[in-house]
Amino acid sequence: MPELTSFSDVLSGSRVVVKDHLCSRFRASRSSCALCIASCPKGAISLDGQVLTLDSNACNSCGVCHSICPNGAFEIKGFDDSWYSARIAEKAPDSSFRFSCAFGARDAHLLVPCLSRLTEALVLEPLARGFGAVEILCPDCTACDFGGAEGHRKAVLERASLFARMVGLDSGRILLRETPFVPTPSTLVSDPPVSRRALFGILGRDVLASARTAVSPQEAGDLLTDGEKFRKGIEKKEESAKRVHLRSLLRSFSQRDSIQVGSQGGFLWDLAVSSRCLGCNVCEQLCPTSAIVREEDEKTFRLVFSPDRCTACGICVDSYLPRAIRPKETLDLSLLAGDGTIELFSSSKQKCVLCRIDFLGDQEGLCNLCKTTNRKRETFAKKWLGKGTCDAASE
């Protein structure tokens, strides 16, 4: 049973917390990701510029945003994947493990607010713990206030089936079954009653927390400009808890077969980098999970890729103007269970004879910026010399 940890939990109905630094729209202005906005059944998520805003009054904590976000930018306080994983672990292995939703089968082993809240790891976990099959007991979603994300639920089950095949399990052990719709939602989990002493203790902690914020508003970010908030945000690197959970689960199986799938619509990419790479480090800085890392010394530049960390968020592709990074058309899903790295790009380094800044290439001379500057100067000089002084000056 989750414990009450702040006074706001007593008053607020929403348990969703947004981690801006993991949001693709926050990290990259060129990103067009809107998965959470499109899937939220209550329309509680919107954009304020490039920053996600959550209407806590409209949010019902269904958890669809948590499941659909590739980077894990949404956290469900008290009911994250580890909480559900612990509930699965409490059940003794049987012929099948049954999931259902708040309006579904009351005899299911585990109820979630919405079946689109499920992740691939949660679907696979009962199989890893010895259950013979996993049944998803689904009522009519068109009659449900949480409806609207059925496409995501279908994609999660399809990927879970692929992962089951990858680790040597029969994908037919993951079953989707219809169940009657129950108009009155079940109480999923009740918070423990709060005593007067506990309530005042919680209030006291909140007062102290507010006092600390008042003493040091700069640390809390109250005085930061938008630019400073962005710079501090992209400095944060954090793996998605969903990805860590799934990777750990897949690695618990001894068998990992190669499963080739298309990159489109996936949540993992295998990347390729062309010779147009300038070594500017934009991809490494903006990647929220450190899937791309730069390694260099005095003579060599390398880009190294960790596929198991990649969420296919697209930031590296959308943000890099030379278009040197692209996802390969197909990938091997077993990359997700590995722990190795892939060298995407390697080049020798030279020092520009003019600006003395390092640039990539085998030939000594000028960097691209100085070459461009020189071309502009030469063009202007030719234009100036090719005309009379008065004609050139009039332009």
CB contact at 8 A, 16 and 204: no
Q: Is the pLDDT assigned to residue 288 strictly greater than 60?
A: yes
Whole-angstrom distance, CA of residue 315 vs CA of residue 312: 8
Burial 46-85 (b: 16+ CB within 10 A, else e): eeeebbbebeeeebbbbbbbbbbbbbbbbbbbbbbbeebe
| pLDDT in the model for residue 3 | 36
Q: What is the DSSP letter of 8?
A: H
Distance of CA 335 to the CA centre of its chain: 17
Q: What is the DSSP letter of 269?
A: -
Burial environment of residue 186 by CB neighbours within 10 A (0 to 12, 13 to 18, 19 or more): middle
**150-163 pLDDT tens trace:** 899 999 999 999 99
| Encoded tokens for 162 | 């692929």
Farthest-apart Cα atoms in the chain, separation:
92
Domain 259-351 has CATH 2.40.400.10: no
| pLDDT in the model for residue 106 | 87
Q: Is the pLDDT assigned to residue 229 strictly greater than 80?
A: no
Q: Is the pLDDT assigned to residue 52 strictly greater than 50?
A: yes
Please tell me the pTM assigned to this model: 0.79
Higher pLDDT, 28 or 230: 28
Can you spell out the DSSP letters for 185-253? PP---PPPPPPHHHHHHHHHHHHHHHHHHHH-HHHHTTT--HHHHHHHHHH-----HHHHHHHHHHHTS
| pLDDT in the model for residue 228 | 65
Whole-angstrom distance, CA of residue 72 vs CA of residue 63: 11
**What are the beta bridge partners of residue 6?**
none
**300-343 pLDDT tens trace:** 999 999 999 999 999 999 887 778 999 999 999 999 998 889 99
Q: Is the pLDDT assigned to residue 56 strictly greater than 50?
A: yes
Give backbone dihedrals phi and psi of 283, rounded to 5 degrees, phi first.
-60, -40
Whole-angstrom distance, CA of residue 283 vs CA of residue 291: 9
Sheet strands (E) in the chain: 16-18, 45-48, 51-54, 74-76, 97-101, 110-112, 134-138, 174-178, 260-262, 271-273, 292-296, 300-305, 325-327, 330-332, 342-351, 358-360
Mean pLDDT value across the chain: 82
**What are the beta bridge partners of residue 348?**
300
Helix H or strand E segment including 370: helix 368-385
Whole-angstrom distance, CA of residue 23 vs CA of residue 182: 35
* CB hemisphere CA count around 336 (13 angstroms): 33
- Taking residues 166-189, report their average pLDDT: 85
Whole-angstrom distance, CA of residue 15 vs CA of residue 13: 7
Q: Is the pLDDT assigned to residue 216 strictly greater than 60?
A: no
pLDDT band at 253 (very low <50, low <70, confident <90, very high): very high
Give backbone dihedrals phi and psi of 234, rounded to 5 degrees, phi first.
-75, -15
Torsion over CA: 162, 163, 168, 173 (sign) = negative
Range picked from 164-178, 262-276, 319-333 for highest mean pLDDT: 164-178
Question: Nearest Cα to 178, choosing from 105, 126, 102, 96?
Answer: 105
Q: Is the pLDDT assigned to residue 128 strictly greater than 90?
A: yes
Domain boundaries in the chain? 259-351, 365-394
Question: Nearest Cα to 245, choosing from 128, 97, 113?
Answer: 128
**366-375 pLDDT tens trace:** 887 788 888 8
Q: Which residues contact 12 (CB under 8 A, 6 or more apart)?
A: 56
Among 30-34, 44-48, 87-91, 184-188, the minimum mean pLDDT is found in: 184-188
CA distances 342 to 216, 306, 337, Å, are: 43, 6, 14
| pLDDT in the model for residue 192 | 44
Question: Nearest Cα to 325, choosing from 335, 315, 339, 338?
Answer: 315
Range picked from 182-191, 218-227, 305-314 for highest mean pLDDT: 305-314
